[in-house]
Amino acid sequence: MDFSEFKKKYSKVPVVEHPNNREGKVPLVTVKVVTYNHVNYIKQCLDSILIQKTNFDYEILIAEDDSNDGTREICIKYAKKHPDKIRLLLNSRENNIIINGKPSGTFNSVYANFCIHSKYIAFIEGDDYWTDETSLQKRVDFLENNPDHVLCFHNAKLFYEDTKEFDKKLKSSFDKSQTLEKNSFKNVTSATLTYVYRNFLVDIFDKEMLNIISGDTILIAKLENFGKIRYIHEIKPGVYRIHNKGIHSSLNYNSQKLARITALIYIYEYYQKKGWHIDLLHENLFNLYINKIVNHAQILKKFRIKDLIKVCKHFYACNQKFYAVKIFTKNLRISLKQNK
């Protein structure tokens, strides 16, 4: 689906781009910032980007999703102060795409993706921030010098907003820089706020993605078919903030796992269409379903029977026939009972 088709189908109100001095300029990197009701965090996020020391041109593309808490006003002030650096997209809530009965950031994020024309993309949400002023330079340098790599990332610290404390463990378990071979990143724990990746490798949007909120899962699964991924330990960890207004952290445990399974099912079918290697995806989907979902059967109230059948077919494909039959019969019985 191209940009014109996307706008025709999903845009009810035009997205306004705030005046800036970026017209005609194509940067090496675009730092995409998606934000909604981040009034207490957005300044720290934007400041952490603006202090980046680079020897190349980069722009900040803010996708502001019509916040009602003052976030939009802060973004406008920053855009006016930094017209040579910031592009600000002012979206309307009338364009919001509802997923599983709840508003989502899908339209806001996808629209911004269509507006990016740089060679590389860095992504960060408005409630997170970087702590290393050389972060962008180091990641881009690596990709520029290693064309066989499609993405690089660094570590992140988890900050719990309710207790004002950092988690004792970092997001990723690596203790040194290393390269991950093609198709080996699916089981690695990482934070999207640390990613820089090559643009133009994967399609931005198709209609099958409409009801999926785990966009980062889809992005990684598609990207890693084109090359290697590098973890850079020398960059100071960024900060991933956990609070009840975060897009992902606001979901309960079961909803998070359901979102990931929905994304994995989409990826599985996408891989099949493309003729890509799927053995690791079988294992990933199987382990996730066994370990996270079967022990929380109440989620099946929201998990459609046809999706359960689809998952079991995947298990058959990776020779897990016994588990597939056991899971299907057990959970079908539970689901039917709960939905009477």
Quote the pTM value.
Answer: 0.84
Look at residues 242, 273, 306 and tell me which one is the last residue of a structural domain: 242
Specify whether 225 is located in the same domain as 257: no
The verdict on residue 211 lying in a domain is yes
Determine phi and psi for 230, rounding to 5 degrees. -115, 130
Q: Match 């020391």 to its residue by tokens.
A: 53
The verdict on residue 16 lying in a domain is yes
For residues 6 and 33, what is the distance between their CA atoms, to the nearest angstrom?
A: 20
Specify whether 281 is located in the same domain as 228: no
Sheet holding 58-64, edge to edge: 16-17, 86-90, 58-64, 29-35, 120-125, 196-198, 149-153, 228-231, 178-180
Look at residues 242, 270, 300 and tell me which one is the last residue of a structural domain: 242
| 133, two tokens | 């002023």
* Total domains in the fold of the chain: 2
Specify whether 32 is located in the same domain as 146: yes
Q: Match 């929380």 to its residue by tokens.
A: 296
The verdict on residue 247 lying in a domain is no
Look at residues 219, 242, 265 and tell me which one is the last residue of a structural domain: 242
Per-residue pLDDT of the chain (340 residues; tens, 9 = 90+): 999 999 999 999 999 999 999 999 999 999 999 999 999 999 999 999 999 999 999 999 999 999 999 999 999 999 999 999 999 999 999 999 998 788 999 999 999 999 999 999 999 999 999 999 999 999 999 999 999 999 999 999 999 999 999 999 999 999 999 999 887 776 688 999 999 999 999 999 988 888 888 788 788 888 988 999 999 999 999 999 998 765 555 556 566 666 777 777 788 788 878 888 766 665 555 555 544 444 444 444 445 555 555 655 655 555 554 444 445 445 544 444 444 4
DSSP class of residue 165 equals: E
Specify whether 51 is located in the same domain as 192: yes
The verdict on residue 204 lying in a domain is yes
Which domain covers residue 91, as residue numbers? 3-242
Specify whether 200 is located in the same domain as 265: no
Specify whether 189 is located in the same domain as 110: yes
The verdict on residue 49 lying in a domain is yes
Determine phi and psi for 196, rounding to 5 degrees. -130, 130
Specify whether 44 is located in the same domain as 21: yes
The verdict on residue 31 lying in a domain is yes
Specify whether 233 is located in the same domain as 287: no
Specify whether 169 is located in the same domain as 312: no
The verdict on residue 248 lying in a domain is no
Burial of 17 (0-12, 13-18, 19+ CB in 10 A): middle
Determine phi and psi for 61, rounding to 5 degrees. -105, 105
Specify whether 230 is located in the same domain as 282: no
The verdict on residue 200 lying in a domain is yes
Burial of 286 (0-12, 13-18, 19+ CB in 10 A): buried
Specify whether 127 is located in the same domain as 201: yes
Kindly report the CATH number assigned to the domain that includes residue 106: 3.90.550.10
